[in-house]
């Protein structure tokens, strides 16, 4: 299967490297279309497939086309792609907020898959939610899921509303985790640890807690119950969080992200 990635930026490069690293495809089947000649030259040196500068040179050769440009660049891109498209080609878009119907209508192509990855995809620890138009076959979906899974984990969702929801949870989620980590790092600094000691204490605590959670069948609440002894230190922290309504504020933050994702999708 010939894969064409359009946009050789952060995500385009992440996908190309992940596919090759996992041996799911090889260099002779990988193509990248990048409009910036400077970036194209840098990509060509990376030896990750053939780099093109014009759509007509590569689109007709592709079975799967991955759209990895910024959403605001998509109208121009669609215009340039449309004359070269074969309706049997599958399009996988990772562009935030750009709807399947919009892509299908602009390209004149029925087979559209829309995915929302997140930043840890760069190290093979990403979380991707994806959905598709009806014209995409089961085999095509499985093929694309296998490709997406080279960057971490992936789930198929039934509709695009769930893509907006995944944007608010896993898409923006790494920043929520860093926000919490940052607050804990500040607390550690206030308690007298150096910056590097604070970062180590916090990052290893997060990693350990997540790995322990993943290796067990206990829920977060059950784990909290286990570490909260009556009158102990952890319970004191939990009581302070409860007083500050921290749980509700985190839920509100995720909902603000969801509302923004819905708003952006309408633009």
- Between CA 13 and CA 25 the distance in angstroms is 14
End-to-end CA distance of the chain: 34
- In the complex with ligand NAP, which residue's Cβ is closer, 36 or 255? 36
Q: How far is the CB of 105 from ligand NAP (least distance, A)?
A: 18
- In the complex with ligand NAP, which residue's Cβ is closer, 188 or 261? 261
Work out whether strand 112-116 and strand 90-93 pair parallel, antiparallel, or are unpaired. parallel
- Between CA 189 and CA 259 the distance in angstroms is 35
Using CB atoms, what's the residue nearest to ligand NAP?
Answer: 9
Q: Which two tokens stand for residue 110?
A: 């029925």
Q: How far is the CB of 55 from ligand NAP (least distance, A)?
A: 7
- In the complex with ligand NAP, which residue's Cβ is closer, 117 or 152? 117
Question: Residue 246 carries which DSSP code?
Answer: H
Q: How far is the CB of 146 from ligand NAP (least distance, A)?
A: 19
Helix (H) / strand (E) containing 143? helix 138-148
- In the complex with ligand NAP, which residue's Cβ is closer, 92 or 188? 92
- In the complex with ligand NAP, which residue's Cβ is closer, 42 or 228? 42
Q: How far is the CB of 86 from ligand NAP (least distance, A)?
A: 18
Check if the beta carbon of residue 133 is closer than 8 Å to that of residue 112: yes
Contacts of 115 (CB under 8 A, 6+ apart): 92, 93, 94, 128, 129, 130, 144, 148, 154, 163
- In the complex with ligand NAP, which residue's Cβ is closer, 22 or 122? 122
Q: By the criterion CB under 6 A, which residues form the site for ligand NAP?
A: 6-12, 33-36, 39, 68-71, 73, 76-77, 80, 94-96, 116-119, 171
- Between CA 15 and CA 209 the distance in angstroms is 29
Q: How far is the CB of 36 from ligand NAP (least distance, A)?
A: 3
Question: Residue 108 carries which DSSP code?
Answer: T
The residue written with tokens 């490709």 in the block is 147
- In the complex with ligand NAP, which residue's Cβ is closer, 57 or 225? 57
Q: Which value, in Å, is the radius of gyration of the alpha carbons in the chain?
A: 22
Q: How far is the CB of 101 from ligand NAP (least distance, A)?
A: 17
Q: How far is the CB of 63 from ligand NAP (least distance, A)?
A: 19
- Between CA 59 and CA 80 the distance in angstroms is 10
């Amino acid at each position: 299967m010939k894969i064409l990635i359009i946009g050789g930026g952060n995500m385009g490069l992440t996908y190309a490297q992940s596919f090759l690293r996992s041996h799911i495809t090889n260099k002779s089947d990988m193509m990248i279309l990048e409009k910036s000649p400077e970036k194209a030259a840098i990509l060509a040196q990376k030896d990750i497939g053939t780099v093109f500068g014009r759509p007509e040179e590569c689109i007709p050769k592709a079975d799967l086309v991955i759209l990895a440009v910024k959403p605001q660049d998509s109208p121009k891109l669609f215009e340039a792609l449309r004359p070269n498209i074969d309706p049997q080609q599958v399009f996988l878009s990772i562009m935030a907020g750009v709807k399947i119907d919009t892509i299908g209508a602009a390209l004149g192509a029925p087979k559209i898959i829309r995915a929302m990855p997140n930043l840890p995809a760069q190290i093979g620890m990403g979380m991707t939610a994806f959905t598709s138009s009806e014209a995409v076959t089961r085999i095509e979906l499985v093929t694309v899921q296998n490709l997406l899974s080279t960057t971490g984990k992936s789930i198929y969702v039934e509709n695009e509303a769930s893509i907006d929801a995944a944007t608010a949870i896993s898409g923006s989620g790494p920043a929520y985790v860093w926000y919490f980590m940052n607050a804990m790092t500040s607390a550690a600094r206030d308690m007298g640890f150096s910056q590097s000691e604070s970062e180590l204490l916090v990052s290893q605590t997060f990693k350990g807690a997540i790995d322990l959670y993943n290796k067990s069948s206990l829920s977060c609440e059950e784990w909290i119950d286990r570490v909260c002894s009556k009158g102990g230190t952890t319970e004191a922290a939990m009581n302070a969080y409860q007083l500050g309504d921290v749980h509700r504020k985190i839920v509100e933050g995720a909902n603000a992200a969801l509302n923004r994702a819905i708003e952006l999708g309408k633009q």
